[in-house]
Amino acid sequence: MAPPSAIDIRGLTDTEAVIYPDPLTVNEVAERRAKAGKLIAGVAAGTSSDLFKSKSHGKPAKRFDHLISEESKSRGLSSLKGAAKFLSTPGIISLGGGLPCSEYFPFQDISMTVPVAPDFSEAGTAKSGVVVKTGKYDATQGDGTYDLSICLNYGQGTGSAQLLRFVVEHTEITHSPPYKDWQCAMSIGSTMSLEQAYRIFTERGDYILSEQYTFASAVETALPLGCKFLGIKMDSEGLMPEDMDEILSNWDVKARGARKPHLLYTVPTGQNPSGATQSVERRKALYKVCQKHDVFIIEDEPYYFLQMQPYTGADAPPAAPPANNEEFLRQLVPSLLSLDTDGRVMRLDSFSKVIAPGTRTGWITASAQIVERFVRHNEVSAQNPSGLSAITLYKLLDETWGHDGYLEWLRHLRIEYTGRRDALLAACEKFLPKDIITWTPPAAGMFLWLEVNLANHPHAATKSILEIEDEMFLACVEKGVLLSKGSWFLGDKTKAPTQLFLRATFAAATEEKMGQAIERVGVAIREAYGVKAGGIGSMHNAFALFWRKTVEVREFSISQPGFGAVQTGKVEIKIKFEKFGAKELRLITQRHKPIPIIIIPLKRIRHPLKRNTRLHKQIKAQATLPPLIKRAEQEPNKPLTKPVPKRDQCLSKLVQADVARAVGVKAVKERAPRGEERPETAELAELDGAGARGVEHADHEGDGVGVEGRPVAVDEGGGEFRLGELTAACY
């Protein structure tokens, strides 16, 4: 879908007048470190982002005291953590804190082999990888700045100074926040950071705004805190700011039973689960809505660096990746943090998706006021990331790769994930029925969001979306494929879904396995819809829609023993209904492909198409209905057939609108009762295109035709049909 038009919203802060500084470069980081000299930070050393970032001439962030919860306001400085600042005093002998002596740490050194540019592959690492080693006393006995004696002891709520320096520099290189007092703090992953953010900003009973479909753990984390999620409508770019503005502008505290929401949780890039990515224009519009309604933003960005090249198609060559690190950074969609002039964004970053989730290490970026509240919470909860994770990441990112090498690694991941995404999309194009499943190629992230068209599902009118979703999910499991239900990601689970989605990831399985999985999903979906090889499913789909368009439905059922092509399978469709109009028939033909429609224009039919009906050839054609329906509308009681005094041929016509899979019915031979008057051939459709032919005539040579209920009869004028029971058996 196209992005919405610009929103005319007057923000609380004039962001247009802000002068954005040039971002920090990798070379400038090296120059700055050289001037600063060796970083000295021992056990439990206090630290601050201000030590590692450039001096800013921007304005300080706004204060958000009015949005901070009572719980967060009540948190004070940890007495024991605060005392650690005296450990750096020369000659101090500590008898204060209970920090274990490092000689009792049973690790003397740790080594690991890591990849280096340009070959990051496992094979390349085995051949030319670098062995990285860390000992217990590298910082005091050698040239190192971080060792096991430091990382394995207690630390500060900000995280270690060594790793914090790297992420502060990385944040400035990639985002360059435009206000003065931004800071970073280490975390044990984005999920824990999110839980702490909720507790900083919400009270029980509050609503949290998010995309209509959002990260399931974000919702499940909020529920025990007494908070509810309110989903904002989405399109192909994710959250729609105009819908959020409308909700907040018309907020009724009494009707909602809660104060106006002031916290937004969003995943702007490669959104989980939809895969949508907000354009820079969408992000600016969203930020203005948040300024207008004084909403604080949690920007969760685990997939930010997994932005990919555009999808070019299964048979087309892939788009060229960025040629170098500078081009890679320029092609990234600007983050909300980079647009944040107020300091109303808390950005959550993580190494889980770009290094390894088991490191349980990430960081937040926000204003000094918010980071200070976060650190106070850290001091009495998570404290800081695992020391082993911290030193492993430090040795890899800072000492081995550096910022240039880390960006090259991120470029490598971009290329790899682009290939994986393309492989999954190619498999979908090959194996999934496009009249049932649709999708938009994701521009970032790890997920493909599959939308299921329920219009043709045989039980769409009798079962709920959740019931059909569960059946499809279990059908895929039975075929050996695990997908995620779309309903798992609903922000507001109190409302029934109006659409059916399934989520697939291209992050875990190999390309070969993904192809096998999607082929199995295609089989499971077709079986759920009654779609089989050879076009039988087309008939089922048409009758399902045919049934849904009737005025009064009495019964609908389909059974299909066996499996395979039309010649070896059997479909029996039984429909009972009261009323069916030519207008609806024309609508079906226009809206749905393929569309087989069987009409029996006989006065009495007992067993229509029961014997000698064979689907034996393709009809490559387009079907249209003649527009002559006025006579039936103007003279509803006038017979639409002309009796003929002799035995005549009667047409049973199968109209098939799909060029690729159309099938026809040939030579239905039935015997009519002797002496009966028979209707003339009724032309129901005009067939055109590439020598297409209609269904050949049916000879009636004996007895045995009739129908329960009112006679079925049509002529060229179309009109309204009243049928009793119609059974079609196709062999």
Residue 303, classed as helix, strand or coil, is: coil
Among residues 704, 707, 729, 692, which one has the least CA distance to residue 560?
729
For residue 348, tell me if it sits in a domain: yes
Among residues 282, 7, 36, which one has the least CA distance to residue 168?
36
Q: Quick one: 123 and 250 in the same domain?
A: yes
Angle at 266 between CA 261 and CA 268, to 5 degrees: 145
Among residues 525, 318, 307, which one has the least CA distance to residue 428?
525
Q: Quick one: 243 and 288 in the same domain?
A: yes
Residue 82, classed as helix, strand or coil, is: helix
For residue 62, tell me if it sits in a domain: yes
Q: Quick one: 144 and 284 in the same domain?
A: yes
CA gap 36, 669 in Å, rounded: 96
The larger pLDDT score, comparing residue 87 to residue 603, is at: 87
pLDDT at 98: 82
- Look at the block and give the residue holding tokens 């396995």: 513
- Over range 451-480, report the average pLDDT: 94
For 568: left if phi > 0, alpha if psi spans -120 to 50, otherwise beta; the answer is alpha
Worst-scoring range by mean pLDDT, 15-24, 139-148, 251-260?
15-24
Q: Quick one: 198 and 241 in the same domain?
A: yes
The larger pLDDT score, comparing residue 280 to residue 549, is at: 280
Judge whether residue 703 has pLDDT over 80.
no
pLDDT at 315: 83
- Over range 658-678, report the average pLDDT: 32
459, 470 contact by CB (below 8 A) = no
440, 275 contact by CB (below 8 A) = yes
Give the number of residues written for the chain.
Answer: 731
Task: Quick: pLDDT tens for 131-176.
Answer: 999 999 999 887 899 999 999 999 999 999 999 999 999 999 999 9
Q: In CATH, what number is assigned to the domain containing residue 238?
A: 3.40.640.10
Q: Quick one: 75 and 177 in the same domain?
A: yes
CA gap 725, 716 in Å, rounded: 23
Task: Quick: pLDDT tens for 430-443.
Answer: 999 999 999 999 99
The larger pLDDT score, comparing residue 80 to residue 671, is at: 80
pLDDT at 23: 78
- Residue 494: CB atoms within 10 A of its CB come to 7
Angle at 155 between CA 154 and CA 158, to 5 degrees: 160
For residue 447, tell me if it sits in a domain: yes
pLDDT at 111: 96
Judge whether residue 547 has pLDDT over 50.
no
Judge whether residue 718 has pLDDT over 80.
no
pLDDT at 627: 30
What are the tokens at 142?
């050698």
Task: Quick: pLDDT tens for 317-370.
Answer: 889 999 999 999 999 999 999 999 999 999 999 999 999 999 999 999 999 999
Q: Quick one: 274 and 228 in the same domain?
A: yes
pLDDT at 608: 33
Q: Quick one: 341 and 472 in the same domain?
A: no
pLDDT band at 83 (very low <50, low <70, confident <90, very high): confident
Q: In CATH, what number is assigned to the domain containing residue 510?
A: 3.90.1150.10
- Phi, psi for 645 (deg, rounded to 5): -75, -5
pTM above 0.75, yes or no: no
Find residue 231's DSSP bridge partners: 210
Judge whether residue 607 has pLDDT over 90.
no
CA gap 308, 566 in Å, rounded: 42
Residue 389, classed as helix, strand or coil, is: helix
Instruction: Report DSSP state, residue 81.
Output: H
Q: Quick one: 540 and 683 in the same domain?
A: yes
Q: For residue 518, what are the domain limits?
A: 418-529
Give the end of a domain, one of 529, 554, 570: 529
Q: Quick one: 279 and 342 in the same domain?
A: yes
374, 336 contact by CB (below 8 A) = no
pLDDT band at 567 (very low <50, low <70, confident <90, very high): very low
Among residues 79, 110, 108, which one has the least CA distance to residue 96?
79
- Over range 290-311, report the average pLDDT: 97
pLDDT at 21: 57
pLDDT band at 84 (very low <50, low <70, confident <90, very high): confident
The larger pLDDT score, comparing residue 592 to residue 284, is at: 284
Among residues 168, 183, 245, 236, which one has the least CA distance to residue 209?
245
The larger pLDDT score, comparing residue 559 to residue 521, is at: 521
pLDDT band at 109 (very low <50, low <70, confident <90, very high): very high
What percentage of the chain reaches a pLDDT higher than 70? 69
pLDDT at 532: 53
DSSP for 41-58?
--TT----GGGTS----S
Residue 185, classed as helix, strand or coil, is: strand
Q: Quick one: 513 and 549 in the same domain?
A: no
For residue 398, tell me if it sits in a domain: no
Alpha helices in 530-650, H assignment, sequence order? 536-548, 582-591, 630-634
pLDDT at 469: 96
Judge whether residue 511 has pLDDT over 90.
yes
pLDDT band at 723 (very low <50, low <70, confident <90, very high): very low
Judge whether residue 583 has pLDDT over 90.
no
pLDDT band at 82 (very low <50, low <70, confident <90, very high): confident
Judge whether residue 719 has pLDDT over 50.
no
The larger pLDDT score, comparing residue 632 to residue 451, is at: 451
pLDDT at 61: 97
- Residue 204: CB atoms within 10 A of its CB come to 10
- Look at the block and give the residue holding tokens 């999110």: 194
Find residue 686's DSSP bridge partners: 624
Residue 55 contacts by C-beta under 8 Å, 6 or more apart in sequence?
none
Q: Quick one: 242 and 159 in the same domain?
A: yes
Judge whether residue 27 has pLDDT over 50.
yes
Judge whether residue 537 has pLDDT over 70.
no
Tell me: cis bond preceding 23? Omega within 30 of 0 counts: no
pLDDT band at 568 (very low <50, low <70, confident <90, very high): very low
Residue 536 contacts by C-beta under 8 Å, 6 or more apart in sequence?
530, 560, 566, 569, 571, 730
Give the end of a domain, one of 507, 529, 551: 529
Instruction: Report DSSP state, residue 549.
Output: T
pLDDT at 143: 81
For 44: left if phi > 0, alpha if psi spans -120 to 50, otherwise beta; the answer is left
- Over range 606-625, report the average pLDDT: 28
Task: Quick: pLDDT tens for 198-209.
Answer: 999 999 999 999
For residue 11, tell me if it sits in a domain: no
Residue 164, classed as helix, strand or coil, is: helix
Judge whether residue 659 has pLDDT over 50.
no
Give the end of a domain, one of 502, 529, 556: 529
Judge whether residue 101 has pLDDT over 70.
yes
For residue 15, tell me if it sits in a domain: no
Q: Quick one: 237 and 307 in the same domain?
A: yes
Judge whether residue 576 has pLDDT over 90.
no
Worst-scoring range by mean pLDDT, 86-95, 215-224, 401-410?
86-95
pLDDT at 388: 96
Judge whether residue 295 has pLDDT over 70.
yes
Tell me: cis bond preceding 261? Omega within 30 of 0 counts: no
DSSP for 322-367?
PSSHHHHHHHSPPPTGGG-SSS-EEEEEESTTTT-GGG--EEEEEE
**Most confidently modeled range among 53-67, 250-264, 545-559:** 250-264
For residue 4, tell me if it sits in a domain: no
- Total of domains in the chain: 3
CA gap 460, 44 in Å, rounded: 62
pLDDT at 711: 29
pLDDT at 20: 52
Handedness of CA 505, 508, 513, 515 (dihedral sign): positive
